Amino acid sequence: MTTSTPQAPPAPAVPAAIRQELQTPMEPTPEQVRRFRTDGYLKWKDFFSPELLAFFDPIVTACLHDRNPLKDVPMEQRSAYDRAFIQVPNLWTFNDTVRELSTSVRAASAASRLLGTTGVRMYHDQALYKEAGGGFTPWHVDQHYWPIGTEKTVTIWFPFTEVPVEKGPLMFGKESHHKHIAREVAISEDSEKIIGEAIKSHRVVEEMSGYGLGEVSFHYGWTLHRAAPNTTDDSRRVLTVIYVAEDAEVIEPKYDAHRSDLREWMPGLKPGDAVDSPLNPVLFREASA
Ligand SMILES: O=C(O)CCC(=O)C(=O)O
């Protein structure tokens, strides 16, 4: 039997104008900061240019196809989690072009200023592609998975195309980051049911709208969210980057999810350590810090 080594997707040079966009810091307005901290999430229009998105879309897509863990699994044989999206993490570690996008000052500065930190580190990036006909993403909180001792964590979620409601945009539980709902529950059919019921009893307001081209969202690690199914015939192509406050520390792992995240995203670290493994570079720090 012969085996073939997977081909690394191409890593073309980033054009100068796009590189400049990536390196330009962003300053949220006081109203954007207030809304993010109050609601637990913020949608931000025209954050990335159409040119930047058109440049990176095929490159991220090639990385995803190259490493797609569900390539040979038909939709009807998948769990709710696997019907929701194809997930490929840490693209920045194996594609030099995508690294410029995932480690951009543009997104990291916005994340840091929304959180109100002196700086932020990379936790990890990931491509999350909801295929044509892909299912809903169950209600969950991201920070369930993270053995990190700070609430100053945030994800930027951005699609490479417009995402109307029928293509699977995120839905957020408004102000849910303060409510301590189902923090011990991993994403699954159970989390959809448990959180769906808790949302009703706690009167959490569900908010969902489509994303325009260039629009992104930021949500805290403890904000409840889900995503609608993709009923269109085009895949919903999204990249996310998760940031943690630069002074975040590792906590004692409580769940299997914590243990595997510690191994994967903070290799070699132990409880009490700063989150500063080689996979957690500082991506933005205020000049005054
Ligand atoms: O893209 C999705 O459907 C879910 C994304 C998500 O849960 C996240 O980025 O935290």
**274 C-alpha vs ligand 1 centroid, how far in Å?**
26
Q: Is 285 contained in some domain?
A: no
Q: What is the CATH number of the domain that holds 130?
A: 2.60.120.620
Q: Is 222 contained in some domain?
A: yes
**1 C-alpha vs ligand 1 centroid, how far in Å?**
39
- Cβ 131 under 6 angstroms from ligand 1: no
**142 C-alpha vs ligand 1 centroid, how far in Å?**
8
- Cβ 171 under 6 angstroms from ligand 1: no
Mean residue pLDDT of the chain comes to 94
Quote the pLDDT of residue 1. Answer: 37
Q: Is 104 contained in some domain?
A: yes
**130 C-alpha vs ligand 1 centroid, how far in Å?**
10
Pocket probe for ligand 1: among 145, 225, 241, the residue whose CB has the most ligand atoms within 8 Å is: 225
For 1-55, what is each residue's pLDDT tens digit? 344 445 667 788 999 999 999 999 999 999 999 999 999 999 999 999 999 999 9
* pLDDT at position 216 over 80: yes
Q: Which atom of ligand 1 is nearest to the CA of 240?
A: 9
Pocket probe for ligand 1: among 124, 144, 155, the residue whose CB has the most ligand atoms within 8 Å is: 155
For 240-265, what is each residue's pLDDT tens digit? 999 999 999 999 999 999 999 999 99
- Cβ 88 under 6 angstroms from ligand 1: no
- Which residue type occupies 278? P
Q: How far is CA 33 from CA 21, 49, 273, in A?
A: 22, 22, 29
- DSSP conformational letter for 250: B
For 109-148, what is each residue's pLDDT tens digit? 999 999 999 999 999 999 999 999 999 999 999 999 999 9
**257 C-alpha vs ligand 1 centroid, how far in Å?**
16
Please, are residues 55 and 13 in contact by the beta-carbon 8 Å criterion? no
Q: Which atom of ligand 1 is nearest to the CA of 126?
A: 9
For 50-68, what is each residue's pLDDT tens digit? 999 999 999 999 999 999 8
| CA nearest ligand 1 atom 1, residue | 128
Q: Is 279 contained in some domain?
A: no
Quote the pLDDT of residue 202. Answer: 94
Quote the pLDDT of residue 158. Answer: 98
Pocket probe for ligand 1: among 161, 195, 238, the residue whose CB has the most ligand atoms within 8 Å is: 238
Q: Is 278 contained in some domain?
A: no
- Say whether 82 sits in a helix, a strand or coil: helix
Q: Which domain holds residue 234?
A: 27-70+79-268
Q: Is 16 contained in some domain?
A: no
* pLDDT at position 85 over 60: yes
- Cβ 129 under 6 angstroms from ligand 1: no
Burial of 11 (0-12, 13-18, 19+ CB in 10 A): middle
Quote the pLDDT of residue 7. Answer: 61
Average of pLDDT values for 209-237? 97
Quote the pLDDT of residue 108. Answer: 98
**226 C-alpha vs ligand 1 centroid, how far in Å?**
7
Q: How far is CA 110 from CA 12, 25, 243, 285, 286, in A?
A: 26, 7, 11, 11, 11
Residue with tokens 């990335």: 48
Give 157's pLDDT tier (boundaries 50, 70, 90).
very high
Number of domains in the chain: 1
Integer Cα distance of 117 and 113 in angstroms: 6
Q: Is 2 contained in some domain?
A: no
Q: Is 117 contained in some domain?
A: yes
